Amino acid sequence: MKIDLTGKTALVTGSTAGIGLAIAKGLAGSGASVIVNGRKQATVDKAIAEVKAAVSGADVRGVAADVSTAAGCDALAAAVADVDILINNAGIFEPKDFFDIPDADWTRMFETNVLSGVRLSRALMPGMLKRNWGRIVFISSESAINIPKEMIHYGFTKTAQLAVSRGLAELTSGTAVTVNSVLPGPTLSDGVSDFLGAMATQAGGSAEAMADSFVKEHRGSSLIQRFASVEEVANMVVYVASKEASATNGAALRVEGGILRGIA
């Protein structure tokens, strides 16, 4: 199988770092015209340069917009117009004791992780249905199913994404548009590297040693017993965004190293 996305335009939210940047590189490498997004123009420009450096001849541009707000989503949707592939990747995570999470944090997490994808799908999916081709992918998490007790508000948003994704898939019946979600497990993204670095500093060890022990200690059922790379997650996303994935619709696809023990 050779994935060829020539002629397709893809928007990847939150793609100036981490999993999103790897997805942008993967899609560009498969021939898609890619739009990267982040909150600041400087980081967007840097991401464009990184995609170009990784993929020679990449067709990539960027839009700076904060997808956690209605105004940011409106501006982004207006700037990109007709996209064929929407990857709702932007997301935030923050471990916090349930009893210390104020309403404002619940709202911020919901707006960033869920409403961003809702707003952009509402703006961009009608065009896909009209053109009778499109791909929407929500980057959810294994935490959608294994709700982490150290960040229940995050788990809640990741489960909500599965509901939105499956619901939108129902609206594609009989068309060549698909809507799916991808569930990464612990993945060595920039955000997670920072988080591990902070934990290592607190514990007085190295970030590498912390990465090594984290999955074994906190996600013991992992079959791969390590973090996934951002590229391993991006590979699944590029596949499900491809023309070849035309019979995969309404699915929740796992790239979590086997942490989730249930078969279905």
Active site residues: 154
Nearer to ligand NAD, 188 or 245 (CB): 188
- Of these, 3, 12, 93, 135, which contacts ligand NAD (CB under 6 A)? 93
Nearer to ligand NAD, 90 or 177 (CB): 90
- Of these, 38, 62, 117, 155, which contacts ligand NAD (CB under 6 A)? 38
The minimum distance between CB 195 and ligand NAD, in angstroms, equals 9
Stretch binding ligand NAD (CB under 6 A), from 33-41, 169-177, 201-209, 235-243: 33-41
The answer to whether residues 89 and 27 touch, using CB atoms and an 8 Å cutoff, is no
The minimum distance between CB 4 and ligand NAD, in angstroms, equals 26
The answer to whether residues 171 and 214 touch, using CB atoms and an 8 Å cutoff, is no
Strand-pairing partners, residue 12, are: 36, 87
Closest CA to 230 of 168, 164, 182: 182
- Of these, 91, 117, 155, 257, which contacts ligand NAD (CB under 6 A)? 91
Give me 263's structure tokens. Answer: 């078969």
Q: Is 180 in the site for ligand NAD (CB under 6 A)?
A: no
- Of these, 14, 29, 117, 257, which contacts ligand NAD (CB under 6 A)? 14
Q: Is 112 in the site for ligand NAD (CB under 6 A)?
A: yes
Q: Is 238 in the site for ligand NAD (CB under 6 A)?
A: no
Listed in order, strand segments (DSSP E) in 80-170 are: 85-88, 134-139
How many helices (H) and strands (E) the chain has is answered by: 9, 7
Task: Determine how β-strand 177-184 pairs with β-strand 252-255.
Answer: parallel
The answer to whether residues 182 and 139 touch, using CB atoms and an 8 Å cutoff, is yes
The answer to whether residues 69 and 43 touch, using CB atoms and an 8 Å cutoff, is no
Question: Which residues are at the interface with ligand NAD (CB under 6 A)?
Answer: 13-14, 16-20, 37-39, 66-68, 89-93, 112, 139, 141, 184, 186-187, 189-192
